[in-house]
Amino acid sequence: TSERAFVGPLGRMALNGLTCNHCGGTDIELDAARGDAVCIQCGTVLEENTIVNEVTFETSAGGGSGVVGQFVPSSGLRSSGLGFAKESREVALSNGQRHISQLANALRLSEHHQDAAQRLFQLAVQHNFIQGRKTQHVIAACLYTVCRREKTAHLLIDYSDVLQTNVYMLGSCFLKFTRMLSLTLPIIDPSLYIHRFASRLEFGDKTHFVSMSALRLVQRMKRDWIQTGRRPSGICGAALLIAARIHGFRRTQREVVRVVRICD
């Protein structure tokens, strides 16, 4: 080509043949370490953070040689050096994706939920949120955040049962995760869990009728501000208990409590 390069001060290369789009000058200086091309006459940055696929070396002041630039893997996470060995973040990311798939399959979540949780886990890795925390807790926080967004019928205690972990520890990790990312999640609607709990109380052919009655009770509680400040499971339990007695089913309070997973 007609371009000629010569080494300038501080190890930079000045390129002849390139033209500045701003002033038309041809005195262009290239910093290979940063990947920047700057016009000497007007100071306009012509190229910035240029990514190249070739390895170049430079000589340091002590006489040693070093690699110019950074290695950028396909995952988008920057790492130092040539990256011949996997970085710890890449290992954490690959392990997290595998555990997300396992937990999502156990909770019968779709691939859409898995992909959204993997993107959230990648943000957790980039923000060093996994440092000092169990990976299972962070994964549960990511998946539960997706479930809250998509309004699925999953409670945090379901994750606690699958992972055999204290539900309060999962809740603490979830709250810290949402605060770190400044996420605003919708308030839990108790109506999402009525059909799930009703199917476990063995109402037989009248399961649908009992569920519809319980849903109407929940809506009335919402209009009267009864559900404000109360747990969704408790609202569902009270509505199902009343609805069961309306339709002639003798369900004790202890049976309902065992299904909705609240204290007696």
pLDDT of residue 187: 85
pLDDT of residue 37: 76
Question: pLDDT tens digits for 158-172?
Answer: 999 999 999 999 999
Residue 231, pLDDT > 50, answer yes
Strand order in the sheet with 13-16: 4-7, 13-16, 28-31, 36-39, 45-47
Handedness of CA 76, 82, 85, 88 (dihedral sign): negative
Residue among 132, 226, 222, 126 at smallest CA distance from 180: 126
Residue among 28, 72, 66, 65 at smallest CA distance from 50: 72
E strands of 4-77, at which residues?
Answer: 4-7, 13-16, 28-31, 36-39, 45-47, 57-59, 65-67
Residue 80, pLDDT > 60, answer no
Question: pLDDT tens digits for 169-178?
Answer: 999 999 999 9
Share the mean pLDDT of the chain: 80
- Segment 101-126 shows an average pLDDT of 91
Residue among 223, 215, 217, 220 at smallest CA distance from 198: 215
State if pTM tops 0.85: no
Residue 250, pLDDT > 70, answer yes
Handedness of CA 147, 148, 151, 152 (dihedral sign): positive
